[in-house]
C-alpha cells in the first residue's frame, strides 16, 4: 500500500476541511486517492470522501492536490467511509450526479492515526483499503 509522502503538506492543505469536535482524543484519518486503469472521464472528475455515522453525514471532503489527499479529524467511534466520483459534465463548473460509490466501515480509538487508500478505476469502480 502506498503511504502518504507529504503528510505535513496534506495537513496544511486540508486545513479545517474535516473536523468533527476534534478534541484532544481525536483520531486522524489520512485519505489518499489513487487512480488506476486506462478508463478516464473525458471532461475530468472530482473525487470525494464522505464520513457517515448512524446513516448521517458527519463530514464530506473533496480529495485535492497532486496526490488527491485529505486529512479528517474525528471523535473516537464507528464510522462508514464512502468514496464517490463527480464527473464533469462538459466542464468542471457543471458536475454530474455522484457515482462510482464504494464504502468501508472503520472503528476509531482515541488518538488513532489511520491511513486509507481509495483506489479509483473508472472501468470497474473503487475500493477502500486501510
Taking CA atoms, 89 is separated from 9, 33, 50, in Å, by: 30, 21, 22
Beta strands 56-62 and 99-108: pairing type?
A: unpaired
pLDDT at residue 21, rounded to an integer: 55
User: Where does residue 7 rank: exposed (0-12), middle (13-18), buried (19+ CB within 10 A)?
Assistant: middle
Among the residues of 1-130, which ranges form H helices? Answer: 7-14
Residue 64 bridge partners (DSSP): 69
pLDDT at residue 20, rounded to an integer: 52
Closest by CA position to 57, among listed 75, 77, 79, 72: 79
pLDDT at residue 23, rounded to an integer: 81
pLDDT at residue 90, rounded to an integer: 85
Sites in the chain below the pLDDT cut of 50:
1-19
Class (C level, CATH) for 7-129? mainly beta
Q: What is the pTM of this model?
A: 0.80
Amino acid at each position: 500500500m502506498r503511504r502518504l509522502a507529504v503528510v505535513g503538506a496534506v495537513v496544511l492543505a486540508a486545513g479545517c476541511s474535516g473536523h468533527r469536535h476534534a478534541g484532544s482524543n481525536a483520531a486522524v484519518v489520512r485519505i489518499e486517492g489513487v487512480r488506476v486503469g486506462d478508463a478516464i472521464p473525458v471532461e475530468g472528475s472530482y473525487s470525494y470522501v464522505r464520513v457517515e455515522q448512524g446513516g448521517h453525514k458527519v463530514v464530506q471532503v473533496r480529495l485535492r492536490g497532486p496526490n488527491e489527499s485529505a486529512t479528517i479529524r474525528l471523535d473516537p467511534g464507528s464510522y462508514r467511509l464512502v468514496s464517490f466520483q463527480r464527473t464533469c459534465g462538459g466542464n468542471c463548473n457543471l458536475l454530474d450526479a455522484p457515482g462510482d460509490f464504494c464504502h468501508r466501515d472503520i472503528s476509531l480509538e482515541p488518538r488513532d492515526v489511520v491511513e486509507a487508500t481509495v483506489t479509483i478505476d473508472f472501468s470497474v469502480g473503487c475500493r477502500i483499503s486501510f
